[in-house]
Amino acid sequence: MSADERTSTIARSVRTILDCIDDDPARDGLIKTPERFAAALQFFTSGYTQADPSTLVGDAEWDENHSELVLVRDISIFSLCEHHLVPFHGKVHIAYIPNGKIVGLSKLARLATLYARRLQVQERLTTQIADAVANILNPLGVAVLVEATHMCMVMRGVQKVGASTVTHCMRGVFRTDPALRKEFINLATR
């Protein structure tokens, strides 16, 4: 299905939803809402159009004899909860121990964004980022920590403003070396 066909199909569906929840879906403020929502939803889920995450790295991978922790902290992410189609947002912290190769730091942020722009649960998002870094770089270890606020918990359900969720995924030496794991968590959460 083309982007235009997706936009049209989504917009028709949104019109139906608006008919169900608003007494006047044809009023000025809502006239173009179906098309705006369709475009926004396609942007929010654009991570599906990137079939191979390794293409994000491109030629930004270099041979380097660095063997200590590399950490990119506080990568902002926004995603949609697959259970409610309501946003969650937060920070991703990605670390790796190189195994003869390093990557352009912005590529780690791009990987986090790619997976966040899909319908998600935070647990899967965390694992997908870690697995992508592990598969692309083949490092000695990868650690990913995600801290997020889920609007499905804030706006509905238990309605707990200020609650956040923390998930992490450890691969390689981060899983087997407690001191390295502790160093990562301390650096990522300070």
- Which residues participate in catalysis according to the annotation? 81-84, 122, 150, 152
Contact 151, 86 (CB under 8 A): yes
Return the H-helix or E-strand segment holding 87: strand 87-97
Nearest to 66 by CA among 106, 95, 45: 95
Tokens at 140, concatenated: 């000695």
| Structure token pair of residue 181 | 């794991």
The two three-digit tokens of residue 160, written as one number? 């707990």
Q: Which residues on adjacent β-strands are paired with residue 172? A: 141
